[in-house]
Amino acid sequence: MENSKRLVHLDLKGAPPKVAYFEKIFPLLKKWGATGLLIEYEDMFPYWGPLSEIASEYAYSKECITSILQLAQENHLTVIPLVQSIGHFEFVLKREKFKSLREVPNYPMALCPSNSDSLLAVCMMIDQVVELHPGIRFFHIGADEVYHLGVCEKCKRRMAEEGISAQQLFLVHVKAILCHIKETHPNINSIMWDDMLRHIELPVLLNSGLGDLVEPMVWHYLTTFMLPSDIWDKYSTVFPSIWIASAFKGATGANVYATNIAYHVNNHTMWLDVMAKMGSKFKKVQGCALTGWQRYDHYAVLCELLPQALPSLGICLLTLQQGSFTAEVHATISQDLKFHSPLPLNPFERGAVPPCQFPGCGIYLEMLAFLQLDASYGEFVHDERVLTWMNEYMMEKKFSNPVHIEPILAQSSVILDGISKIYSQLELALKEVYHPNTVEEWLKVFVEPKMKKMSDVVEKAKIQLSNP
């Protein structure tokens, strides 16, 4: 895939970096073989007019968008915007103004495709994004993981009257969006995630008319191939061109905060093998998007932050460019990120992390330090000694034996001191890259609860020892 496009996915629905951070990392992405960016703005785009309330408090300004595009151009990175068009629409449907567009009134995930205002809203969003991205050649409409489809009364009536299935309801909605793009922005080619197409029968897919309107992006983040066995024959019959999508982070757990690089390397080598065998079925395999999910949905907690996963991104990009993962790839990225020795491929294997120096390395180092301390914390709170001699009942009755409480106090004090130091250092490192809301969220979700727990243990242990 050395001649294919390699897109770095920037998932901005969680932890959107300051523009200054992009200025630091775009040259690295270019050096490692990236040819473009797939930018999923969600609520970080500065929507205006009737859409203005969609934009978050920290949304990029129009000037910021211009700066990002300029930085991308300077580093020869093509920009492809991504705007969701039916599912994963929480960032819009959570707003009171747009609640009437929900497929399920109590759930803010999916648009109702039978509500004419749904199509108007999506097309308006697309038009505004295109306006601020002059000259783009591709646009991604999302359209993945639509968990609620054809369940509202309006959709049920429509399916009954028109004699169509929920799958066809989806296809009609998507086709309307794609036709809007083709008619309004004729120089733009459309892309969509493929998962909603995987189990649609070939005749239905052929009759949908999507084959001439969109290029599916087939995503798969596991290390062994588990997609339908007929997927390549079916897609190649309908679509002349396709994309694939791997993952360099954010695909191993909704609240995982450290990246297992070895896992993602295996995902990329799997894709290289699959494309070597199946790519010839298509007129063109456009390339690969290396996804880096930041939240599993709009309401989920943050997972692996971009600076923490930059080593993984570098290794995965270079692996795609070179066609395999080698010791040379490992050494090159280690050197580019100024590691004193080869960077660790699996942070979950305890061991010293070599010093390094790259944009955001403070976040990387403090998070790996926290990962190791987090393991010690977990062992401590489940330790038989703590559960036996310092459980809540014993503390309430002030019934304890100092011979056991003293070592518990000593160990808990060490863990608390370690967490407190990481908190201070990580807060400073996060502030260099992120806005205050991201800094606050990460610390409050991952660090503060453990710090509070250990503070409580230390305080109670001291009380017990003061009243023997």
- Token match 């989806």: residue? 170
Task: Report the candidate in 187, 121, 198, 113 with the shortest Cα–Cα distance to residue 157.
Answer: 113
**pLDDT reported for residue 224:** 93
Alpha-carbon gap, residue 4 to 246, rounded angstroms: 14
pTM of the model: 0.96
274 and 309 in one domain? yes
CA atoms within 13 A on the CB side of 312: 31
Alpha-carbon gap, residue 426 to 449, rounded angstroms: 15
Alpha-carbon gap, residue 417 to 425, rounded angstroms: 12
Degrees to nearest 5, angle at CA 100 with 95 and 104 = 95
Give me the sign of the Cα torsion angle 339, 341, 343, 344.
negative
Query: What does residue 287 show for φ and ψ, rounded to 5 degrees?
Result: 155, -160
Alpha-carbon gap, residue 369 to 417, rounded angstroms: 13
Residue tagged active-site, from 53, 103, 145, 161: 145
274 and 128 in one domain? yes
Q: At 468, is the pLDDT very low, low, confident or very high (cuts 50, 70, 90)?
A: low
Total number of domains in the chain: 2
293 and 159 in one domain? yes
DSSP per position, 268-325: HHHHHHHHHHHGGGSSEEEEEEEEE-S-SSTTSPP-S-HHHHHHHHHHHHHHHHHTS-
Span 230-247, mean pLDDT?
Answer: 97
Span 35-51, mean pLDDT?
Answer: 98
Residue 1 predicted with pLDDT over 60: no
Q: Report the 10 Å Cβ neighbour count for 61.
A: 11
Which uninterrupted H or E stretch holds 248? strand 241-249
Span 286-299, mean pLDDT?
Answer: 97
**pLDDT tens profile 122-165:** 999 999 999 999 999 999 999 999 999 999 999 999 999 999 99
Residue 256 lies in a domain: yes
**pLDDT reported for residue 125:** 98
Cβ contacts of 326 within 8 Å, gap of 6 or more:
none
371 and 323 in one domain? no
Span 94-100, mean pLDDT?
Answer: 97
User: What is the Cα 21 distance to its own chain's centre?
Assistant: 17
Q: What is the mean pLDDT of the chain?
A: 96
Q: At 401, is the pLDDT very low, low, confident or very high (cuts 50, 70, 90)?
A: confident
Would you say 9 and 316 are in contact if contact means Cβ atoms under 8 Å apart?
A: no
Q: pLDDT over 70 for what percent of the chain?
A: 99
- What is the DSSP secondary structure assignment for residue 57, as one 8-state letter? T
Q: At 398, is the pLDDT very low, low, confident or very high (cuts 50, 70, 90)?
A: confident
Q: How far apart are the first and last CA of the chain?
A: 70
313 and 197 in one domain? yes
Q: Where does a domain end: 292, 319, 336?
A: 336
Degrees to nearest 5, angle at CA 276 with 275 and 280 = 80
Residue range(s) defining the domain that contains residue 403:
361-466
Residue 343 lies in a domain: no
398 and 323 in one domain? no
Task: Report the candidate in 100, 140, 93 with the shortest Cα–Cα distance to residue 117.
Answer: 100
Cβ contacts of 262 within 8 Å, gap of 6 or more:
345, 346
For residue 158, which amino acid is it?
Answer: R
Annotated active-site residue 145? The verdict is yes
For residue 182, which amino acid is it?
Answer: K
Residue 351 lies in a domain: no
Alpha-carbon gap, residue 134 to 122, rounded angstroms: 19
Alpha-carbon gap, residue 116 to 363, rounded angstroms: 45
Residue 415 lies in a domain: yes
430 and 315 in one domain? no
Alpha-carbon gap, residue 38 to 7, rounded angstroms: 6
256 and 122 in one domain? yes
